[in-house]
Structures are given as structure tokens and as C-alpha cells.
Amino acid sequence: MKYDTSKLDQNLVAQAKKGSKWDHNDQGRYDALLRAQQQKAKPARKPAPKPAPKPAPKPAPKPAPKAQSVFRSAPQPAPKPAPKPAPKPAPKPAPKPAPRPAPKPAPKPAPKPARQQAKQKAKIVKAQPKGTNTSIKNQQSQKVNQNNDINTNINGDNNKVFNEQDNSIRQYGGDNRSLVINEGSGGKGKGGYYNSADKAITMGTLSGFYDVDDSPAAQAKFVDQQQTMNRDAQKKYSNVGITTAEQYAGFRGGDLNIKALQSRIDNNHNYFFDLATIQGVKTYGDRDAITKYPKFEFGDPIKPVESNAGKIADKYRDDIDDM
């Protein structure tokens, strides 16, 4: 990472710089010196004035004791006891109401046959006002404006430029689902035939409204996404082979003696066979000095395979003729 020190304080730069190039360590030291300089430049905060101490409240003066007379006072009469309150009468218990008989549930009407229920629903749907049916429009529009010119400026000789461009545009349609539920009331003073849970869950599930999108557009989108991601991942390797070949095409590895190279290869082949023989002698001893092996001789050649397809064909031809 390159740092620009032209806009920094040069005095601090000279103090922070420790090497020939300005790096992140020098930048850290510069930031520390700058913070210290800024803290010195700030005026010292004055201590907040302490509040004046409040005077302690003086205790209230106690009343002087009354002077006692030398003479004895006349005897005072004894205080009369306070009259006792009259006892309140105990409250009478409230009378309990007589238990009412539990109301009997009204008898349920007998279920109507299915045909009669279907006719009733059809009449309710017909009686709905105009405009109840919802019009659904499934439209798609696409506008593409492209200006993908490639301008290449070449200066000099023996230059090679490889330009690749893909201006393809894809549109596979889509999946437009609409769930329309037309229903009426169950009669005068009654609610609809279905509640909100039936509308949003039951009917949507039965009609496939919440099903997985398996349309051709969804399949094409998935395949195109995977192919595009793979193609984008390979873009950085598109010109590696050509660039490498052009980079080293003008270099030679030096003069090469083909005969000497082939001789060296052949000698290495025999060298490794001899090395294997030496290691075998070290491991098992010199078995050739003790055991007399018979001379190797090739076996008899394999007999050539003779085809009898002609005889088989003649036999089948005779069988066909005899049919």
C-alpha cells in the first residue's frame, strides 16, 4: 500500500520515519505524534467551581418550663370514662336467587342433500353484482438498449490483442399465478362458506398456487444461472494459455545436441536395470552362482484362428431353402 506524505506535517514525518520508505509502521508513529501534538494544543479545562456550603439549620428553641406554685392546687375531679359505642346489628344475608334451568340447545336442522346445496351455491354466485369476477392479465415486456463497442488503441509493432464479447440476452417467460375465490354468503344473516384460513391455505394448496415453480422459465433460469456462474469463474483463465505462449515464444533454451540427449536417456535405462540387479544380489545373494537356470526359449507360436463363418452361413441357407 502506497502512502502520500506530501500533505502531512513534515516535522512529524521526519520524527516518525525510520526507514528508506514510508510504510504502515511509520504511519502509525505519525498518527501517535499527531494526537500528542493536538492534545498539547488544547487549553486545559478549568475545574468547575464548588458550590458554597449551606449553613446548618439552627435548632428550634425549647419552651421554658412553667413555674410551679408553692401552694397546693385544689384537687381536680377524676375524668369520666367515655361512653361505649352501641353495638351495630349484624347484616342479614342476601337471599340467594333460585337457580334457573339451563337452556336446551335448539335442534340442528337436518343436513340438506348435496344436489340441493350445489343449487343454492349456484344461485348465490349468480346473484352477485357485476364486477365480482376478476380479470387477470399475464403480460411481459422487455426493453434492451446496448452500446457495447470495443475500442482498442495499439502503439508499436508486433502487438497482439484478443477481445472477447458476449451480448446475448435471455428471456424465458415466467410463472404468473393468480388465485381467485368467488363465494357468497350462506344465506340471510349468515357468514361466507369459507373462513380466511380456508381461502388462503386450503384452496391455494388444492389449486397448486403454493406449489414449486417447475415451469420451463424456472428450469432455464436455473441452468443458465449455473452456466453463467461457471463461465464467470473461468474468465480469469481465458487468455492464460495464449499469453504464456506469446510471452515465451521468442526465447530459446540454448543449442541442444539431440544425439547426446538420446544416448543419455538410453544409458539411464540400462543404469537402472543394473542398479536393480545389484540391489537384488545384496538382498538375496548371488543366486545365479548357485542355481543353474535353463536357457530361455520361446514357446510354440499360437495357431491362427480359422473362421468357419462360411460353413455356418451355408447351413442356415440350406435350412431356409428347406422351409
**Burial of 215 by CB count in 10 Å (0-12 exposed, 13-18 middle, 19+ buried)?**
middle
**Which of the residue ranges 4-8, 67-71, 143-147, 195-199 would you say has the lowest mean pLDDT?**
67-71
- The answer to whether the CB of 26 falls within 8 A of the CB of 17 is yes
Domain boundaries, the chain: 10-38, 179-234, 258-290
Average pLDDT value for residue range 248-260: 75
**Burial of 16 by CB count in 10 Å (0-12 exposed, 13-18 middle, 19+ buried)?**
buried
Q: Is the pTM of this model over 0.85?
A: no
What pLDDT is attached to residue 71? 43
What pLDDT is attached to residue 56? 64
User: Could you give the CA distance from residue 27 to residue 17 in angstroms, rounded to a whole number?
Assistant: 8
How many CB atoms within 10 Å of residue 290? 7
User: Could you give the CA distance from residue 295 to residue 287 in angstroms, rounded to a whole number?
Assistant: 15
- Is residue 297 very low, low, confident or very high in pLDDT (cuts 50, 70, 90)? confident
Residues 6+ apart with CB under 8 A from 224: 170, 172
Average pLDDT value for residue range 292-305: 84
Alpha carbons within 13 A on the beta-carbon side of 23:
5
Average pLDDT value for residue range 132-159: 76
pLDDT above 70: residue 11: yes
- The answer to whether the CB of 160 falls within 8 A of the CB of 246 is yes
**Could you report how far apart the first and last alpha carbons of the chain are, in Å?**
95
- Is residue 197 very low, low, confident or very high in pLDDT (cuts 50, 70, 90)? low
- Is residue 282 very low, low, confident or very high in pLDDT (cuts 50, 70, 90)? very high
